[in-house]
Structure 1
Amino acid sequence: MTRPLRDVVVHPDADVLAQATAARLLTALLDAQSHHRPVHVVLTGGTVGTRTLAEVAASPVRAAVDWTGVHLWWGDERFVPAGHADRNDTGAREALLDPLGDLLPAANVHAVPGPDAVATPEDAARAYAEELAAHAPAGGALPVLDVLLLGMGPDGHVASLFPGHPGLDVTGRTTTGVEGSPKPPPLRVSLTFEAIRSAREVWVVAAGAEKADAVAAALGDGPVTQVPAAGALGQERTLWLVDLAAAGTAVPAPADGLPASA
């Protein structure tokens, strides 16, 4: 089996990582809009993920993007009510959506339903799957996802797909409800690996020395059951964006400013 190629770019610290990822995302949006519309992007939460969105909002380049042609989705969500501080979309609204205001149509923001809208995480997963399918090409289950951003936990989880958890084995579906998450809150909704791997580009963003072991395991193709991030692969490109602390000793120092590959 051919080992999947991943591009790895190491930044000096988490602040620069967020700034560079924001610049990269804006460029990706502009490039995609030069070829097709709409553009679909899957967002992630977490400290660096939310900081990246704030950097997008702060960049003057944001004015070059036609936000009416951008649709935003989430790779996972905590099953708590709308507006709750634990929700990924709450942080995204504060960091990016509110600053964009009317530039981004409300209909282009696809939040995962919470317990104020549906009864269970599985109900939310079904509703989100239907929303995804409604924006898919005829007969498809998913829109063409141009960029799918993922954070990664110290245990190697991505989205809400945790080591040894049943969500890893879900097939034939684009979404899944998660119960008994080892990281609170325990109830969540997540894209499945089938949905993640459908994206044109998958970007895994990780910062901090506590992530170094998981980065090494994922880039070393550790088993997905133990390090789910190893299974996060894009159709056209898989990009790891990490800071120096998260890179640890797993990623060789790049030569002449070029990204390392793993």
Structure 2
Amino acid sequence: MTNERRVLVHKNKQALAGSVAARFLTNMVDVLHEQDEAHVVLTGGSVGIAVLKAINESAARDTIDWSRVNFWWGDERWVPRADRERNEVQAREALLDHVDVPQTNIHSFGASDDHVDADIDTDALDVAAARYTAELLAHAPRGEQYPRFDVTFLGVGPDGHVASLFPHRSGIREREASVVTVRDSPKPPADRLSLTRPVLNSSNRVWLVLAGSDKASALGLALAGASRDEVPAAGIKGRYRTVFFVDSDAAAQVPESLIAPAY
């Protein structure tokens, strides 16, 4: 299988979410036919959650053996466990609470109100990063640092950020760590946890899902070869395939040669 990078344009956000949901369900059937379990990285944001809702509402939802699917997150906001700002809370409401996925398959980041038994000089956010790093390692093939992800969902911010890897911040340049802490984020809340670029790029398929005219410039720059420091989305590429699922507004600055027919 060769690495492909393409853009699929849909007429609006609803069509976009439905198309991505259908493709995901088809992909999971294929993956689970070929291997014992799947690993999926989820994203937050309005479009990312709309995709999860569309998966839940699909007539094909129960064709998947959800007990064999593991869910991870690309990033998380450092807020209390039950806070609706958490990507985990939104994902559970949209999909995870409606399918038969074991709780042990839901690998959520730590929360600000978790009990931390650590030295007084150890920051709780650092402890949470270390714990998620250990969780990734525990599910990794021997000799590797993280699981072999089958699909990684990502949103793209108007500034081109992905997960919580922001322009001109050290996170996008990290090469060794699997998880980084983010403090003083340019987008609230200030504190966050995020997977790093090497982890995101280890996925077989990276699906970047975005909608709205405010994303057009970032998408255009990412596809035009901007540096990953300027536009973090430009540095994201799956092992086999990278697809930008977008609506017509977000596609305003995409070169025609990169646009493929919608699924």
Aligned equivalents of 1:18, 1:150: Cα separation in 2 = 13
Output one character per residue of 1:87-146: Cα deviation in whole Å (capped at 9) or x when no partner.
10110010001122xx11111001000112245322211111110111111122111100
The percentage of aligned residue pairs carrying the same residue is 43
Structure 2 match to 1:111: 108
Spell out, residue by residue over 1:184-240, the C-alpha distance to the aligned partner (whole angstroms, 9 max, x if none).
001000000010111111111110000000000001110111100001100111111
Give the residue type in structure 1 aligned to 2:102. P
Stretches of structure 2 lacking an aligned partner (at least 5 in a row): 117-122
TM (normalized to structure 2)?
0.93
TM-score, normalisation: structure 1: 0.93
Please name the residue that 2:166 is paired with. 162
Kindly indicate whether residue 174 of structure 2 is the aligned counterpart of residue 177 of structure 1. Answer: no
RMSD: 1.7
Letter in 1 for 2:232: P
Q: Determine if contact 1:176/1:191 at 8 Å carries over to the other structure.
A: yes
Q: How many residues align?
A: 254
Query: Which residue of structure 1 aligns with residue 120 of structure 2?
Result: none
Q: Return the alpha-carbon distance in structure 2 between the equivalents of residues 248 and 209 of structure 1.
A: 7
Are the aligned partners of 1:39 and 1:146 in contact in 2 as well (CA < 8 Å)? yes
CA distance in 2, matches of 1:15, 1:253: 25
Other structure's SS at 1:72 match: strand
**Distance in 2 separating the partners of 1:163 and 1:87:** 22
- Work out the CA distance in 2 between the residues paired with 1:145 and 1:133: 13
- Give me the whole-angstrom Cα distance separating, in 1, the residues matched to 2:257 and 2:209: 18
- Given residue 28 of structure 2, which amino acid in structure 1 is its aligned partner? L
More displaced stretch, 117-126 vs 167-176: 117-126
**How far apart, CA to CA, are the structure 2 residues paired with 1:258 and 1:183?**
34
Does residue 258 of the first structure (1) align with residue 255 of the second (2)? no
Separation (CA, whole Å) in 2 of partners of 1:254 and 1:74: 28
Mapped pair 1:80 → 2:84: no
Summarize the Cα distance change of 1:36–1:166 in structure 2 as closer, same or farther, 3 Å threshold: same
- In the alignment, is the contact (CA less than 8 A) between 1:7 and 1:259 conserved in 2? no
How much does 1:56 deviate?
0.5
Q: Which runs of 5+ in 1 are unaligned?
A: none
State the distance in 2 between where 1:154 and 1:48 align: 13
- Deviation >6 Å, runs of 4+: none
CA distance in 1, matches of 2:62, 2:206: 24
Shift of 1:5: 4.6
Q: 1:41: which partner in 2?
A: 40
Task: Find the counterpart in structure 2 of residue 25 from structure 1.
Answer: 24
